Amino acid sequence: MQNQTLWLKSPAAIFTGNNLDATNGLVIKGNTIVELVPSGMRPKTAIDSYLDCSNKVITPGLINTHHHFYQTLTRAVPGALNKPLFPWLKYLYQIWKNLDEEMIYTATQLAGLELMLSGATCIADHHYVFPTGLEHAIDIQVEAIHTLGCRATLTRGSMSLGESAGGLPPDSVIQTEDTILQDSQRLISKYHDTSAESYIQIALAPCSPFSVSTSLMKDTAQLAKENDVMLHTHLAETEDENNFCLRQFGMRPLDYLENCNWLGDKTWLAHGIHFNQDEINRLGKAQVGIAHCPTSNMLLASGICPTVDLEAAGCHLGLAVDGSASNDCSNMIQEVRQSLLQQRLRYGAEVITAERVLGYATTGSAKVLGRPSIGQFAVGMQADLALFSLDELRFSGVGSALDGLITCGAYQVDKLMIAGKWLIENTEHSSIISGQLMEKHQLLAQKILDKGIL
């Protein structure tokens, strides 16, 4: 099968992520796109089989740039509802400190499957909670991702400042700086793959300026530079964070980040809301990536990311669902719609189009994660793609299939391909039974809530 050619023929619409014409579909051989078929044309490549896509929309596989998989265990927790970021975090840390190995494995599987069913072929996670017994959390995540078959950028998160040192998390979930740095190097050496066909990549990700020390921020930047891996953290999510940095460091978050040697094209930031114009210009000049999280930002009332201004300055803009405790779902195609609606409030209907926000979720996200072989359709790119069926009541009467995919509220794929292999068909994963996974996950969610009730 590896040398067989497949023609995805005559889609209702196709989004390539660039200006190339693939109106009559794609040809795939092995794990690679070998031809884009223009309007009215047939493939030049010899075809072994074809799939009629006449009632489907084809997009590059969506790419999620920021998540906290473990938070699927704590969706819509009553004590955390209707709170802004800092009080929300302080409440939930008392529950998250009870995470164990089975919970992180199952939560990673469930979040990953949820993302895949919504069109994602590459997923990113930011795990930074390491209670005793969960020191090898990232290894457990790698094992869980392998069962799903998707690509992932897993970040080795960290927290070194607990409540006793003026931080937000309880002391029981933080680690020493030596432990963090040693484990970061171990994970990079063991798992990080930079090939075009890469499935697992590792990045380094101190949680935020208010949960790690300045020395850890600087040492992590140096370790990332030595290993040529990416850096990630939360930044400028709320005004509270800006005020915290002014009190704690005497400078705004971006100034603090620059002081820690983080401004560069291998850094991406979650949220990126509360920047002034000068800061936006500096971020753009450094080509920093931004993980735009519209649903989370609305749920926590954090603010609206200045996406167009950041792009204009030179930043890479990607899309993210954020953690399931602040969303409360992990649905990428719905996140595209949320971005369209939210960003139109800031920039208007003529500027924020379906193509633009799909670009955030594909080409932009690939640039944010530093993955040049995915995120768009072109000859030589990896064959990662999502097929969305229009055979639903919500799409009846649609004039523009591509616009309708977003505005009419698509929520799941019909088929999902990664590296030329169908992993989702008829909305079912090839090896994971969603009902069984959900039953196990629900029991573990109840277990962690029972342990953490305040």
Peptide bond into 328 cis (omega under 30): yes
Phi then psi for 315, rounded to 5 degrees? -75, 150
Residues 323/328/329/335 CA torsion (nearest 10 deg)? -80
| 415-418 and 421-425 beta bridge pairing | antiparallel
Nearest residue to 235 via CA among 156, 196, 290, 278: 290
Instruction: Check residues 225 and 163 and name the one with the higher pLDDT.
Output: 225
Same fold, 5-59+383-429 and 62-368: no
Residue whose tokens read 């000068």: 278
408-412: long-range pairs with CB below 8 Å, 24+: 409/334, 409/337, 410/57, 410/333, 410/334, 410/337, 411/118, 411/331, 411/333, 411/334, 412/117, 412/118, 412/119, 412/333, 412/388
Model confidence at 454, in pLDDT bands (50, 70, 90)? very low
228 pLDDT more than 50: yes
pLDDT over 70 percentage in the chain: 99
Average predicted confidence (pLDDT) for the chain: 95
299 pLDDT more than 70: yes
Class of domain 62-368: alpha beta
Most distant CA pair in the chain, distance? 68
Concatenated DSSP letters of 144-209:
HHHHHT-EEEEEEEE----GGGT-SS-GGG---HHHHHHHHHHHHHHH---STT--EEEEEEE--T
How much is the pLDDT for 392? 96
> Are the C-beta atoms of residues 361 and 336 closer than 8 Å to each other?
yes
Quote the CA–CA distance of 379 and 32 in Å, as a whole number.
Answer: 8
> In the predicted model, what is the mean pLDDT of residues 212-217?
94
Q: Is the dihedral of CA 243, 244, 250, 251 positive or negative?
A: negative
- The two structure tokens encoding residue 439: 């039953």
SS3 84: coil
Q: What DSSP element (H or E) covers 232? A: strand 231-235
**Residues in Cβ contact with 161 at an 8 Å cutoff, skipping those fewer than 6 apart:** 167, 169, 174, 210, 211, 212, 213
Phi then psi for 272, rounded to 5 degrees? 55, 50
Model confidence at 451, in pLDDT bands (50, 70, 90)? confident
Q: Domain spanning 5-59+383-429 has what CATH number?
A: 2.30.40.10
pLDDT per residue over 63-72, tens digit each?
999 999 999 9
Within 10 angstroms of residue 100's Cβ, the number of other Cβ atoms is 17
Q: Considering the entire predicted model, what is its pTM?
A: 0.97
How much is the pLDDT for 2? 66
Q: Where are the domains of the chain?
A: 5-59+383-429, 62-368
> In the predicted model, what is the mean pLDDT of residues 161-176?
87
Concatenated DSSP letters of 254-311:
HHHHHHTT--STTEEEEE--S--HHHHHHHHHHT-EEEE-HHHHHHTT-----HHHHH
How much is the pLDDT for 318? 98
